[in-house]
Amino acid sequence: TSMPAMIRNGLKRQEFHLLYQPVIDIATGRTIGAEALLRWRRRNGEMIAPDHFIPIAEETGSIRQITRRVLELLTDDAPRLIDIAPDFHIGLNLSAADIHCPAIVRDVTAVVKHSGIKFENLLIEATERSFVDAGKAADAFRNFRSRGARIAVDDFGTGYSGLGYLAQLEVDYLKIDKLFVSTLGTGSATSQVAQRIIEIAKDLQLQVIAEGVETEDQAKMLGSLGVELAQGYYYSGPLTASALLERLRSEH
Ligand code: G
Ligand code: G
Ligand code: MN
Ligand code: NA
């Protein structure tokens, strides 16, 4: 069967679940939030990575159903997280098709309403692609932000959209892609890109979240460059909601 048909079946059979990767305050080591990451385990046990099905879902339009499922799963998990850590940030990945869909604000508002969390608990993660059609994107982002949610540009530096949109759109965070973090301190051209991204963020008064931090050296270097937040295997891989709850309990 084709991937689009497999996705349809996977949705029908509820084969999707969420894991949560902690986001850490580098200075204190505390878990201040987590990024929700979608996982698909098929009935036969096979795991299919987001990189394999999200792009196809985006092309065929089923990303909207997938996102609705993500929002349902989040509605189930979020209350327990916020109960332990009221200021917790939950990172929600949205595709360009979601951002450009007029129903997205209503869909996310329903999560807030039914889970009892606040918009302030949500960090909407959108890749540079979402910002290209600035007119359409701006409405959704402005709407989310006026309600208290924050916006992050995900995989910053890997797209081809230029920087013009950053001046036009109000965003709160840049997430530096792991590609750039992995070369920090190597003296390579790519490692200079990471430093330039951090400088751009400072100029625009945006906070930075470093992704893919795998070593203590990288964490220290990021800290000394003024980066406050990080995620990566050095701190923790993606966790089940229960494992994340346990981590939060041990910190609170
Ligand atoms: O989880 P993993 O480490 O494999 O993530 C791979 C990619 O899939 C990342 O770019 C991530 O942003 C994306 N991704 C993970 N979960 C979701 C999701 O719920 N929705 C969308 N649109 N993308 C996701
Ligand atoms: O695109 P998005 O940036 O949201 O994806 C995050 C992806 O990176 C997920 O697939 C997640 O599992 C993966 N990831 C998380 N931490 C690390 C890390 O420290 N190193 C590497 N190589 N991948 C990571
Ligand atoms: Mn992300
Ligand atoms: Na990313």
Q: Does residue 252 sit within a domain?
A: no
Distance (Å, whole) CA 87 – CA 33: 8
Q: Does residue 251 sit within a domain?
A: no
Distance (Å, whole) CA 70 – CA 92: 9
Q: pLDDT digits over 171-197, tens only?
A: 999 999 999 999 988 888 888 888 989
161 — pLDDT class (breaks 50, 70, 90):
low
Residue listed under structure tokens 């540079």: 128
Give the dihedral of Cα atoms 116, 21, 39, 43; nearest 10 deg. -90
User: What pLDDT does residue 68 have?
Assistant: 98
List the Cα angle 105/81/118 in 5-degree steps: 35
Q: pLDDT digits over 74-123, tens only?
A: 999 999 999 999 999 999 999 999 999 989 999 999 999 999 999 999 99
- Ligand 2: nearest atom to the Cα of 93: 4
Q: Does residue 90 sit within a domain?
A: yes
Q: Does residue 223 sit within a domain?
A: yes
Q: Which ligand is nearest to the CA of 21?
A: 2
Number of domains within the chain: 1
Please give the average per-residue pLDDT across 120-129, as a whole number.
94
User: What pLDDT does residue 228 have?
Assistant: 97
User: Which residues make Cβ contacts (< 8 Å) with residue 80, sequence separation at least 6?
Assistant: 241, 245
Residue 184 is classified by DSSP as T
- Domain of residue 17 covers 3-246
User: What pLDDT does residue 160 have?
Assistant: 66
Which residue has a Cα nearest atom 16 of ligand 2?
232
Is 95 touching ligand 1 by the criterion CB < 6 Å?
yes
* ipTM, two decimals: 0.96
CATH number at residue 205: 3.20.20.450
**Predicted model pTM:** 0.96
Residue listed under structure tokens 């997280």: 81
- Which is higher by pLDDT, 70 or 162? 70
Q: Does residue 176 sit within a domain?
A: yes
User: What pLDDT does residue 239 have?
Assistant: 98
Q: Which residues of 68-149 form beta strands (DSSP E)?
A: 89-94, 122-127
Which of 7-11, 93-97, 136-140, 165-169 shows the lowest per-residue confidence on average (mean pLDDT)?
165-169
